[in-house]
A and B are shown apart, each in its own frame.
Chain A
Amino acid sequence: MNLLAVIGAFITLAGSIFLLLGSIGLLRMPDPYNRIQAGTKASTLGTILTFTGILLIVPGWWGKLLILIISVIITNPVSSHVLARASHYIKVPLTKSTLVDKYRDEEEYIAVNDKKSDNT
């Protein structure tokens, strides 16, 4: 039993706790945008910590684990962004305590300006 493997095991445990917190946030958040926020960010961090822990336990596997970590870092925020944009496009309702929706305001502003430029 060496020290590096024990540290890696504890990092893996921390990653699994982050995954659990992401799923609890997925259950408890009030509307789909908050669920995207909770689910994607926490699960990205949890997966990266888990792969780092396995990397510390078995240092010989660093190549494939590094490719996995980089691919998770690149693909997971992209998928959450695309999903949030699509759900705003099909007008999924926000929660009742929402105060501002700057994306909708900006779209209305652009639409009004386009109409003005068409008239002149």
Chain B
Amino acid sequence: MVETILTIAAGIMLVAIILAIIRFVKGPSYTDRIIAFDVMTISSLAIIATVAYFANRIIYLDIAMVYGILSFLGVLIVARYLEKGL
């Protein structure tokens, strides 16, 4: 029961990442691409947490932490570059 629902949830998150990739390829301005990248990484955090349940390993949550911090820093650096502060 629990595993079936979590599999469906992981599939829905994967569809969300694919829709964000479409916006990442199509997006006419820089802002669209960065925000699509942000949505992709945030959805990946949720998928990593689900996979950590399936594999029954707590160490995957550490990977999710590092990934979230790196995506935050990436968005911050690109925004700083667009403001010509870099």
Q: What is A's interface to B at a CB cutoff of 8 Å?
A: 1, 5-6, 8-10, 12-13, 15-17, 19-20, 22-24, 26-27, 32, 35-36, 39-40, 43-44, 46-47, 50-51, 54, 57-58, 61, 64-65, 67-68, 71-72, 75-76, 78-80, 82-83, 85-87, 89-90, 92
Q: A47-B42, A85-B79 are in contact. Are A71 and B65 (CB under 8 A)?
A: yes
Encode contact with A along B30-54: 1 for CB under 8 Å, 0 otherwise.
1110111011001101100110110
Q: What is B's interface to A at a CB cutoff of 8 Å?
A: 1-2, 5-6, 8-10, 12-13, 15-17, 19-20, 22-23, 29-32, 34-36, 38-39, 42-43, 45-46, 49-50, 52-53, 58, 61-62, 64-65, 68-69, 72, 75-76, 79-80, 82-83
Residue of A47, A57, A92 touching B29 (CB-CB under 8 A): A92
Residues of A within 8 A of B50 (CB): 12, 50, 54
Residues of B within 8 A of A26 (CB): 19-20, 23, 35-36, 39
Tell me whether A16 and B46 are in contact (CB under 8 A).
yes
Q: A20-B12, A27-B22, A35-B35 are in contact. Are A68 and B65 (CB under 8 A)?
A: yes
